[in-house]
């Protein structure tokens, strides 16, 4: 037992250091945690085994997975139905292009340039078509964009993008069995009664018992996560939809969501982001860095060429367009999930898996770093005011979000 406490202390110590670094560099904590994980993996390659860090221990994998599930849920809870309805054209168009452009582009690159098999190439296209809901939401939360229409539009487009990834993975690779039918039916029933149940519990018991709202949400997320894993899917898949279903209730329950966010960001997500960085196989990258660079360039370039002209139709200001595009170019949660699915089912080799995971993680770091350093639309930050032209005659001021 003492070993578990020691490992947890080391991991949370790394998380504390990441917070300090992120504060002084003015970049996302999630990105620093990923980079720190990669650095630890590099040190482990030369000096010790990553198993010393417990990276594959069941309890640590559970904490990391729980962090991804809860962060995905919180991202979904930020998407107010009224905002999505108001921006449905933007969300669906940007999200659909965000999936299709890299799926087609990266599949072609893997097959024609890298010489991978058809199955491995399609898996590559799926893994690199994603956006990182975890990273994007973490950045939106840190900047305050999650409270603005701009940020909610990005989160909505990310959801549609990743929904395309999930559907493609299921249609092309995942077996559709009676378990899938049970999973879908259970999700439909639970999601139908969940708003009424949550409202009733909040009204009658929320302020009389110990954190019953948090316990109810965790029970639902873990229960649906179990059904997802049992049916051959992933635990994070239903979490986003649960968040969207409860978005209206969450908007009126700031205290409950604040507590859940503290638990998630303060304790669980450091394990997820640090572990994601430690999964990179540096020996494979050192031996064949060109493959990694080709995959990374394929993902980012196909995203930019596909999305920038489309986003320009919804956002006129330059920094807004580039920030939006680069945020949509990230990848982490569903990308690593898809790559791991391919590896465990024999679709890609361990070497190919390492290249995919490295490209996915790099896409979480590099575009987000560039977006935050060079294209942050500061005029949209909460509390700021921006000039808006009226009838083409001079600027006026209005608040954003």
Could you give the domains of the chain?
57-399 (1.20.1530.20)
Specify the pLDDT at position 99.
Answer: 95
- Give the whole-angstrom CA distance, residue 120 versus residue 278: 23
Question: H or E segment at 222?
Answer: helix 212-230
Q: What is the pLDDT of residues 215-228, one digit of tens each?
A: 888 999 999 999 98
pLDDT at 385 over 60: no
- Token code pair at residue 123: 């898996």
pLDDT at 131 over 60: yes
Look at residues 208, 204, 206, 236 and name the one whose alpha carbon lies nearest to residue 221. Answer: 236
Environment class of 251 (CB within 10 Å of its CB; exposed 0-12, middle 13-18, buried 19+): middle
Q: Which residue has the tokens 């960001």?
A: 265
- Give the whole-angstrom CA distance, residue 186 versus residue 125: 30
Residue 252: strand, helix, or coil: coil
Specify the pLDDT at position 388.
Answer: 42
Look at residues 400, 390, 326, 396 and name the one whose alpha carbon lies nearest to residue 363. Answer: 326
Range name among 47-61, 200-214, 336-350, 356-370 with the lowest pLDDT average: 200-214
Positive or negative: CA dihedral 144, 150, 155, 156: positive
Phi and psi at 399, nearest 5°, equal -85, 150
Q: Which residue has the tokens 């599930």?
A: 69
Q: How far is CA 283 from the centre of its chain?
A: 26
- Give the whole-angstrom CA distance, residue 87 versus residue 226: 33
- Give the whole-angstrom CA distance, residue 197 versus residue 158: 28
Q: What is the pLDDT of residues 29-81, one digit of tens each?
A: 877 888 888 888 888 777 777 677 888 888 998 998 898 889 888 877 877 66
Instruction: Report CA dihedral (348, 351, 354, 360) to the nearest 10 degrees.
Output: -50
Specify the pLDDT at position 386.
Answer: 47
CA angle 256, 324, 108 (to 5 degrees): 115
pLDDT tier for residue 365 given thresholds of 50, 70 and 90 = confident
Q: Which residue has the tokens 């196909």?
A: 302
Q: What 8-state DSSP symbol labels residue 26?
A: T
Positive or negative: CA dihedral 401, 256, 81, 94: positive
Phi and psi at 232, nearest 5°, equal 95, 10
Phi and psi at 299, nearest 5°, equal -65, -55
- Give the whole-angstrom CA distance, residue 339 versus residue 347: 9
Phi and psi at 381, nearest 5°, equal -60, 140
Beta-carbon contacts of 188 under 8 Å, excluding residues fewer than 6 positions away, are: none
- Token code pair at residue 271: 């394990």
């Amino acid at each position: 037992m003492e070993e578990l406490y020691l490992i947890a202390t080391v991991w949370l110590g790394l998380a504390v250091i990441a917070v300090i670094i992120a504060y002084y560099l003015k970049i996302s904590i999630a990105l620093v945690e990923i980079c720190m994980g990669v650095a630890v993996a590099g040190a482990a390659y030369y000096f010790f085994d990553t198993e010393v860090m417990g990276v594959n221990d069941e309890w640590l994998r559970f904490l990391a997975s729980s962090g991804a599930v809860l962060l995905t849920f919180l991202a979904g809870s930020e998407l107010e139905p009224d905002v999505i309805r108001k921006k449905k054209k933007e969300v669906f168009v940007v999200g659909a292009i965000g999936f299709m452009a890299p799926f087609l582009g990266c599949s072609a690159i893997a097959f024609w340039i890298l010489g991978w098999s058809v199955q491995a190439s399609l898996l590559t296209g799926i893994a690199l078509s994603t956006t990182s809901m975890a990273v994007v939401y973490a950045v939106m939360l840190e900047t305050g964009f999650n409270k603005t229409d701009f940020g909610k539009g990005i989160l909505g487009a990310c959801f549609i993008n990743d929904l395309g990834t999930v559907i493609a993975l299921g249609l092309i690779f995942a077996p559709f069995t009676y378990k899938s039918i049970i999973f879908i039916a259970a999700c439909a029933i639970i999601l139908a009664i969940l708003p009424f149940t949550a409202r009733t519990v909040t009204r009658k018991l929320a302020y009389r018992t110990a954190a019953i709202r948090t316990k109810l949400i965790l029970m639902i997320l873990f229960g649906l996560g179990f059904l997802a894993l049992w049916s051959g899917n992933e635990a994070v898949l239903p979490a986003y939809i649960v968040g969207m279903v409860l978005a209206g209730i969450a908007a009126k329950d700031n205290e409950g969501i604040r507590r859940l966010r503290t638990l998630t960001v303060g304790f669980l997500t450091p394990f997820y982001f640090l572990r994601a960085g430690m999964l990179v196989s540096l020996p494979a990258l050192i031996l064949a860095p060109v493959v990694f660079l080709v995959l990374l360039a394929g993902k980012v370039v196909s995203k930019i060429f596909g999305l920038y002209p489309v986003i320009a139709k919804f956002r006129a200001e330059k920094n807004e367009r580039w920030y939006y595009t680069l945020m949509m170019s990230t990848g982490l949660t569903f990308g690593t999930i898809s790559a791991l699915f391919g590896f465990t089912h024999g679709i890609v080799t361990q070497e190919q898996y390492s290249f995919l995971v490295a490209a996915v993680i790099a896409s979480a770091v590099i575009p987000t770093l560039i977006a935050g350093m060079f294209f942050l639309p500061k005029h949209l930050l909460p509390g700021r005011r921006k000039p808006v032209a009226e009838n083409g005659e001079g600027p006026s001021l209005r608040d954003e979000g």
